Amino acid sequence: MSPLKSVTALVALVASTLAIPVPSPEPLSEPQHLHKLFTRQDVQSPINGSLPNVTIFATGGTIASQGSSNTQTVGYSIGLGVQQIVDAVPEILNISNIAGYQVSNVGSGSINETILLELNSLITAELEKDDIAGVIITHGTDTLEETAFFMDLTIDSPKPVICVGAMRPATALSADGPLNLLQAVTLAASPNALGRGTMITLNDRIGSAFYTTKNNANSLDTFYSTEAGQLGFFINQVPYFYYEPAKPIGLTHFDLAGMTTLPQIDILYAHQDMDALLFNSSVQNGAEGIVYAGVGAGGMSSKASVAAEAVYNETGIPMVASHRSADGFVPADDGDYIIASGFFNPQKARILLQLAVASGFGESEIRGVFAESYPSPGGGMRRK
Ligand SMILES: *[C@@H]1O[C@H](CO)[C@@H](O)[C@H](O)[C@H]1NC(C)=O
Ligand SMILES: *[C@@H]1O[C@H](CO)[C@@H](O)[C@H](O)[C@H]1NC(C)=O
Ligand SMILES: *[C@@H]1O[C@H](CO)[C@@H](O)[C@H](O)[C@H]1NC(C)=O
Ligand SMILES: *[C@@H]1O[C@H](CO)[C@@H](O)[C@H](O)[C@H]1NC(C)=O
Ligand SMILES: *[C@@H]1O[C@H](CO)[C@@H](O)[C@H](O)[C@H]1NC(C)=O
Ligand SMILES: *[C@@H]1O[C@H](CO)[C@@H](O)[C@H](O)[C@H]1NC(C)=O
């Protein structure tokens, strides 16, 4: 592939990432796993050796999708590429030398175990290079928090891993992708970002991947943590942090070396008169663990509760109670077979359970990794 062609391919890659993930059932192109699409020279020649180096891992979504008009913000289609994005934000090249990979090109609802494991191994290798300051994952926003949390739990490096997306297509009036990308590159290249784990940045906010969630399906101001707060904020495109570098309590590190699959973990949604057979169906369909989004602080209907316990008695698969409320805490109940998610919402509890099951943890170890995130006299803090 000539450098020019690879740039074009690259463009198709990043182009797709930053805006609202339109439900897009089909991948846009053949996945090009482990294919480095462009190098720093492709984007900028010559490399400015005094600038930090940042690598972008694009996964799909719609960083630079196009609507049919500048007022269309729903139902647009993916189309632009990385080169167009970089062209649109030439300021990026004054901050960093950029290289990029296309790991996948899917809407974020279709991010799967293959993509997560590949991202993990590529990023781990990239961050081991002395001349790399940090990395960026461009991603559809709908499940961005899940990929970010996964990376926080599986990448063991002080260097920044920055997850970024956009809520509006590139063609929209006041598109947010270009500034979000500029801020992500600034953050990935910043020495002040070291030692803070994986971060999510959109709309000027910098949040820890651990607790940041998508709060609104449509609005720009959607990524934040109501209770745990933010790590920092951009003022005039400079990242300012509120605290010294710190890790959240209960950040267990999982080593994925050699792992090629992840177990199926289902999320069941509780509601009035919740169906008793959802648990049976999950297990019959291969689930190796179940998280349910409980009513209140982890509750469900009495008939579902009996069914869940019967399934647990027979299979022993781990079951984690989370909450369907946007925020909240599910406390551990001594002696209960159900594992409490603590502060984790269902989608984050699912990632943590998936990694624990993948690591071969038994029930008490799984209980431990959840309990460590909310240390109390009866809770965790077992690990130093
Ligand atoms: C390289 O980057 C440095 C630091 O930002 C800047 O001062 C210098 O002008 C750049 N050199 C070129 C050739 O752009
Ligand atoms: C960026 O990469 C180039 C080429 O590998 C290297 O010469 C340069 O030193 C790197 N910059 C930093 C700040 O490490
Ligand atoms: C990049 O930096 C140079 C030197 O400071 C400046 O002249 C130029 O306008 C900058 N380019 C952009 C796009 O900000
Ligand atoms: C995950 O998605 C990618 C991209 O669509 C696909 O190539 C891969 O086969 C999928 N993996 C699994 C296990 O389905
Ligand atoms: C599950 O097993 C426990 C302990 O043996 C028992 O007390 C409980 O009644 C069982 N529950 C169901 C629904 O079978
Ligand atoms: C649901 O699963 C439990 C435990 O395996 C079993 O006892 C029960 O009969 C199942 N219910 C149905 C309708 O299959």
Work out the angle at residue 203's Cα, subtended by the Cα atoms of residues 69 and 326, and round it to the nearest 5 degrees: 105
Catalytic residue among 59, 73, 124, 141: 141
Give me the helices (H) in 233-362, please.
Answer: 278-284, 302-315, 346-358
Token readout for 4 is 């020019």
Q: Which two tokens stand for residue 326?
A: 């946007």
pLDDT at residue 197 tops 60: yes
Give the count of beta carbons closer than 10 Å to the beta carbon of residue 74.
10
Q: Whose CA is nearest to atom 11 of ligand 3?
A: 91
Predicted confidence (pLDDT) per residue in 87-110, tens digit: 678 888 899 988 878 787 788 999
Fold for domain 3-241? Rossmann fold (3.40.50)
Q: Is the pLDDT of residue 383 over 80?
A: no
The correct CATH number of 265-371 out of 3.30.360.10, 3.40.50.510, 3.40.50.40, 2.70.150.10 is 3.40.50.40
Give distance in angstroms: CA of 263 to centre of ligand 5.
26
Distance from the alpha carbon of residue 261 to the mean position of ligand 4, in angstroms? 11
Query: With contact defined as beta carbons under 8 Å apart, do 358 and 331 qualify?
Result: no
User: Is 122 a residue whose pLDDT tops 70?
Assistant: yes
Strand partners, 340: 321
- The number of the ligand nearest the C-alpha atom of 313 reads 5
Q: Measured in angstroms, how far is the CA atom of residue 130 from the centroid of ligand 2?
A: 9
Model confidence pLDDT, tens digit, residues 61-71:
665 456 677 77
Centre of ligand 6 from the C-alpha of residue 357, in Å: 23
In what helix (H) or strand (E) does residue 115 lie, and over which residues does it extend? Answer: helix 113-127
Residue 62 designated active-site? yes
User: Which positions make up the binding site?
Assistant: 108, 141-142
Q: Is the CB of 316 under 6 A from ligand 3?
A: no
The domain ranges of the chain are 3-241, 265-371
31's CB contacts (< 8 A; 6+ apart) are 103, 104, 105
Establish whether 261 is a catalytic residue. no
pLDDT score of 23: 34
pLDDT tens-digit series, residues 229-282? 999 999 999 999 999 999 899 888 999 988 999 999 999 999 999 998 999 999
> pLDDT, tens digit, for every residue of 207-219?
999 999 999 999 9
- Catalytic residue chosen out of the listed positions 17, 59, 62, 73: 62
How much of the chain, in percent, has pLDDT values that exceed 90? 65
**Equal CATH topology for 3-241 and 265-371:** yes
Tell me if 211 sits within 8 A of 250, measured CB to CB: no
Binding-site residue positions for substrate: 108, 141-142
pLDDT in tens, 302-313: 999 999 999 999
